[in-house]
Structure 1
Amino acid sequence: MSAIELEGLTKRYGDGGSLRLPGRRTGSGEVVGIDDLSFTVAEGEVFGFLGPNGAGKTTTIRTLLGLLSPTSGTATVLGADVLDEAALVEAKRRIGYLPADLGFDEGVTGERVLALHAAIKGGSRREELLELFAPPLERPIREYSTGNERMLGIVQAFMHDPDLVIMDEPTSGLDPLKQERFHEFLREERERGTTVFFSSHVLSEVRQVCDRVGILREGRLVALEDVETLLARGGKRVRVRLAEPVDPEAFATDGTIDVRRVGDSLSFTYAGEYNALLSHLADYDVVDVEIGEPPLEDVFMHYYGEGDGPAPETRTNSEAETEVADA
C-alpha cells in the first residue's frame, strides 16, 4: 500500500510580483512552486526527495501536510486527501514532522517544548530518543546550538511513534558523528516498518539510508529511481594532482566529464569503468587523488538536463539565489 500518493500535484502562486516566493517564474511573472508531480511512497519505505535549494521540496512537503493548498492535482497522506481537512487532521496523529525551520519559542526550555508536543500527540518513545540524541532539555532554546536544536526536533518528530515521518533537510546543522547516528537510527526505523519521506540536497546522505529517490528540478520531477541507479548515473567527482602540469583537454578520456584545472589539480566527473580510470591515471605521475560523490547539481546538469523528453528550464546559480527562497 502507499503511504503517500501524488497525482498531478501542482502549486502556482499567480503573479509573484517582487516577492521572493519559492518556485520558478514564468514569462508572465507567475510563480510555479511544483508542477504536475505524480509518484507514490510505499509503506515502510525510506524515500529521499532530492533537489537543490529552490527546487520545490519544501513546497511539496507543505502541500502534503495541508499547510498549502494545491492549485490542481491530488495527494493523499496515510489515505487522507490533503484537501479533506478533517481526514488530514486525523491522519496527522500518525505523522511526525521535522521542518527545515524548527521555529521553537526561544524563551522556553527543551523540556517545555517536548511537554507541549507530548500533550498534543503523545510521547511513548520520548526517553528512548533522548538517550540517543540527548539535547540539553534544561536550557532555553536561545542557548541551543544549531545541532542541539535539530536533535530536539528529531526527538519531537519521532517520540509519538508515528507511522510516517516527513522531514525537510533533517541533518542540517548536525556534525558528522551526529549525522551518522541519525542515519543509523533511520535504518533501524525502516526495519521497524516506519515510512520516512525526507528532502535533501546531499547525495551522500541519501545514499546511506534511502530505498528510492525522486529528483526535483524547478518544481518538476525529473527522475524517480532506486539509489543504485542514481549512483550509477551520477558517477564520481575526481580531483587528481599530477607531478607535471597537463592540459585538461589532453587529459580527458572516455568517461571523464567537464575536466578543468583547479589550482595545481585537475577536477572532473567520472562516469566510466573504474579500472579504465586507474589505467588512464597510470600513464601520469600522480601525486594525489581524491574520489568522492559529485555535487547534486552536477548530477542534474550531466544526466537530467537533457534526454528524450523536454528539458526543464535552467537558470544560473546567481539567478536562483536572487529569485528563489529555499524551497
Structure 2
Amino acid sequence: MIHLEHVTKAFASGKGIFDVSFSVEPGMVFGFIGPNGAGKSTALRQLMGLIAADSGQATIGGFDCWVETKEVKRLVGYLPGEISLPGDFTGDHVLQLMQQLHGGDRKRQADLLERFPFDPKTKVRKMSKGTKQKLALVGCFMKDAPVYLLDEPTSGLDPLMQERFLTWLEEERRLGKAILMSSHHFPEMEKSCDRAALIKDGRIIVESDIHELIRSSRKQYTVEFGLAAQAEQFAIQVGATQKQQRVSFLTSDQLTLNQVLRLLTAYDIRSIQTATDDLEHVFLHYYGEGDES
C-alpha cells in the first residue's frame, strides 16, 4: 500500500534522505526510528506529496505521491510532527474545518473524542501541548482512511492517553489499515509495530521484523565474581568495565555468549544478570551512545 523505491531528496545543508526503500502492507504498523534530523519527517513529506524527490518513486495505493497527490491525499490520514493550528479557532472549529476539507465520519469522531477527551470550546492558543495533540489525533483519525502517516503521534500525551492511542492503533491495524509511524518513544514502538526501519543520516541502516530486530541486538550482561581479582582478570579478557567484583559487558559478533560462558567456567561466579532486551538497546547498538539525538 505504501512504497518508497530508492527515493533520494538532498537539501543544500547536506541533509535529506538517500536511496530509501521500504513498503508497508495493509494490516501492518511500520515503525520509522531515528534521531532528530535523520530524515524521518522528510520521508513522510515525500509520501504526502509536499516535496518532490530528486530520484526514485514514492507511491500510495499505486498512485505517485508527487504526480497524483490529490488521489494520494484522499487515501491518507496525516498527522504532522509539528502541530500548527489557528490560535483563535476553538477545537470545534478546527474539527469542522477538517471535516469540510477531508471528510470524516461523525460517529467515528464521537468515539475518538470519548477516547481522547478535551474541551472543544477552548481556543487553540489556550490549549496545552497534550490537548493540541489530542485534537490533532481526532482530526487525523476521524477520516476513516486506509492509510495513516503519523509523525511522533504521542508527543505531549500523558501515559493514559498513550495507552489509549496504542489500543486505537491496534484496532485500526486489525481493520487492515496500513500505518507508518515515526517515534522516539521506544516502548510504544515495541508494543505496536510489526516491522521497523532505523534511519541514520538519511539512510536506512537496518529494516526487520520488530522482534527479530530486538533479538539481533547486542545483549548486556553483568557478572558478579567471588573475588575482585577474578573480576579484574575477566574484564581484561573481554575488554569490559569492572567495578569491584562486578563486570558489565555486551555480547557481539566478536564476543558471543558461548565464548563468555567458556571463559567463566574458570571462575567463582556469584550471579549473572542480563538487561531486558528492548528497542532502546537496539537503537544504541546501531547509533552509538555518543551520537547526537
Q: TM-score of the superposition, structure 1-length normalised? A: 0.74
Q: State which of 155, 165, 186 in structure 1 corresponds to 2:148.
A: 165
Q: 1:35 aligns with which of 18, 25, 29?
A: 18
**Pair 144,116 (structure 1): closer, same or farther in 2 beyond 3 Å:** same
Q: State the match for 1:6 in structure 2.
A: 4
Aligned-residue offset at 1:266: 7.2
In our comparison, the structure showing a higher alpha carbon Rg is 2
Q: Measure, in 2, the Cα distance between the counterparts of 1:243 and 1:145.
A: 54
Read off the aligned partner of 2:81 and give its amino acid letter. Answer: A
Query: Equivalent residue of 1:170, what SS?
Result: coil
CA distance in 1, matches of 2:134, 2:225: 43
Task: Give distance in 2, aligned partners of 1:131 and 1:57.
Answer: 31
Deviation (angstroms), 1:166 = 0.1
Equivalent AA in structure 1 for residue 286 of structure 2? F
- Alpha-carbon distance between aligned partners in 2 of 1:249 and 1:232, rounded to the nearest angstrom: 29
Query: How far did residue 244 of structure 1 move?
Result: 9.8
**1:210 corresponds to which of 186, 193, 196:** 193
CA contact (8 A) 2:214 2:277 kept: no
Q: 1:248 to 1:36 in 2, by over 3 A?
A: farther
Give the CA deviation at 1:243. 11
The 3 A distance-change label for structure 1 pair 234 and 127 is same
Task: Tell me if the contact between 1:53 and 1:201 (Cα under 8 Å) persists in the aligned partners.
Answer: no
CA–CA distance in structure 2, aligned partners of residues 179 and 153 of structure 1:
14
- Whether 1:298 aligns to 2:281 is no
Does the 8 A contact of 1:52 with 1:297 survive in 2? no
- Shift in Å, 1:89: 1.1
Distance in 2 separating the partners of 1:152 and 1:132: 11
Q: Distance in 2 between matches of 1:244 and 1:81?
A: 65
What letter corresponds to residue 196 of structure 2 in structure 1? Answer: V
Q: 2:101 aligns with which of 105, 116, 120?
A: 120
Identify if the C-alpha distance between structure 1 residues 283 and 76 changes in structure 2 by more than 3 Å, giving closer, same or farther: same
TM-score by length of 2: 0.82
In structure 1, C-alpha distance between the alignment counterparts of 2:147 and 2:37, rounded to whole Å: 25
Distance change in 2, residues 1:139/1:79 (3 Å): same
Q: Is the 8 A contact 2:219 2:274 kept in 1?
A: no
Q: Which residue of 1 aligns with 2:269?
A: 283
Q: Is 1:95 aligned to 2:93, yes or no?
A: no
Q: Structure 1 stretches of 5 or more lacking a match?
A: 17-30, 303-314, 322-327
